[in-house]
């Protein structure tokens, strides 16, 4: 499904959570939506899932607005950081409700995940630990097979082996059947290998949208004497420049081989680093 985000603005009183946000997700892929606390990720995901409305602008899914549109809502599953399920329900009730709601629901996969995570179908949500509740959220999100599945920091309390299992099954499922998966996380290093495309939001605005492969190839970190770095980066797009004691470091769209010819040190830029640099709060802000 094609997702078009057009000049999306969301205000909460004085606070502008999203400011004229525009981008397009053209095809089923695993997208990483990154940004610091309060950048607007959850707000965007809730608008996309049709749970809240925008103050201005719109989101279109295959040309249609999701808000109050039952057919579209059935195509979108949003799993949040917590409180996804009513506390008095039992796990088996949650599974039943989701299986009725999503036409694409995969009961076999749900059963497999519930067993893998060792969840008791008769347990009430309020008796689950944070990690168990997250495991249920992940299971439901994956088993919904919703063409647009959104995971907003879905694994609070989940231990490392359980998170690994989640990533493995997510990839396996995605490879069997492509769907749009939007993933917001602060554990970027751990998850970034899954992403095919990355979007970075800063204070409600998009600062980067790029395919992960091309990111890895095209943005490099170069360091060396100030004059050499300056000569190399002239006429190139730079993301970040730092200067200290006659040395300069720059994140730049460029090719490793060429930078080496200028006698510079060249390294890749991990996505986490990129996110940190692109979302650094300006002094005084």
Ligand X SMILES: Nc1ncnc2c1ncn2[C@@H]1O[C@H](COP(=O)(O)OP(=O)(O)OP(=O)(O)O)[C@@H](O)[C@H]1O
- Name the site residues for ligand X (rule: CB under 6 A): 12, 15, 17, 35, 37-43
Query: At its nearest, how many Å lie between ligand X and the CB of residue 15?
Result: 5
Tokens of 121: 């179908």
Q: Rounded to whole angstroms, how far apart are CA atoms 126 and 141?
A: 19
Minimum CB distance to ligand X smaller for 204 or for 224: 204
What is the DSSP-derived secondary structure letter of residue 185?
-
Query: At its nearest, how many Å lie between ligand X and the CB of residue 83?
Result: 13
- Phi and psi dihedrals of 23, rounded to 5? -170, 170
Q: Which residue bears the tokens 């979007």?
A: 199
Tokens of 248: 């300069």
Residue 195's SS3 state is coil
Residue 265's SS3 state is strand
Minimum CB distance to ligand X smaller for 116 or for 273: 273
Tokens of 221: 């970190």
Minimum CB distance to ligand X smaller for 188 or for 248: 188
Query: At its nearest, how many Å lie between ligand X and the CB of residue 4?
Result: 20
Query: At its nearest, how many Å lie between ligand X and the CB of residue 222?
Result: 31
Minimum CB distance to ligand X smaller for 38 or for 263: 38
Query: At its nearest, how many Å lie between ligand X and the CB of residue 255?
Result: 33
SS3 string, 15-74, reads EEEEEEEEEEECCCCEEEEECCCCCCHHHHHHHHCCCCCCCEEEEEECCECCCCCHHHHC
Minimum CB distance to ligand X smaller for 133 or for 153: 153
Reference 233, options 215, 245, 251, 218; nearest CA is 251
Minimum CB distance to ligand X smaller for 14 or for 257: 14
Query: At its nearest, how many Å lie between ligand X and the CB of residue 39?
Result: 4
């Amino acid at each position: 499904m094609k997702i078009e985000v057009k000049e999306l603005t969301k205000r909460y009183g004085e606070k502008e959570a999203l400011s004229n946000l525009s981008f397009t997700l053209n095809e089923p892929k695993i997208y990483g939506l990154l940004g610091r606390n309060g950048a607007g990720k959850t707000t965007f995901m809730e608008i996309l899932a049709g749970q809240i409305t925008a103050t201005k602008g719109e989101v279109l899914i295959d040309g249609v607005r999701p808000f109050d549109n039952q057919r579209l809502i059935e195509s979108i599953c949003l799993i949040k950081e917590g409180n996804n399920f009513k506390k008095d329900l039992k796990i088996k009730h949650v599974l039943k409700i989701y299986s009725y709601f999503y036409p694409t629901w995969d009961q076999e996969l749900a059963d497999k995940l519930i067993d893998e995570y060792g969840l008791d179908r008769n347990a009430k949500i309020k008796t689950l630990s944070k990690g168990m509740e997250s495991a249920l959220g992940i299971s439901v999100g994956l088993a919904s097979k919703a063409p647009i599945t959104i995971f907003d920091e879905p694994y609070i309390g989940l231990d490392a082996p359980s998170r690994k299992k989640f990533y493995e099954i997510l990839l396996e499922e995605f490879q069997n059947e492509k769907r749009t998966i939007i993933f917001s996380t602060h554990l970027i290093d751990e998850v970034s290998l899954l992403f095919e495309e990355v979007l970075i939001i800063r204070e409600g605005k998009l600062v980067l949208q790029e395919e992960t492969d091309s990111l890895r190839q095209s943005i490099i970190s170069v360091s060396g004497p100030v004059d050499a770095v300056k000569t190399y980066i002239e006429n190139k797009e730079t993301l970040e420049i730092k200067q200290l004691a006659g040395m300069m470091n720059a994140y730049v769209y460029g090719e490793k081989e060429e930078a080496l010819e200028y006698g510079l040190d060249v390294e890749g830029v991990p996505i986490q680093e990129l996110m940190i640099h692109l979302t650094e709060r300006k002094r005084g802000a």
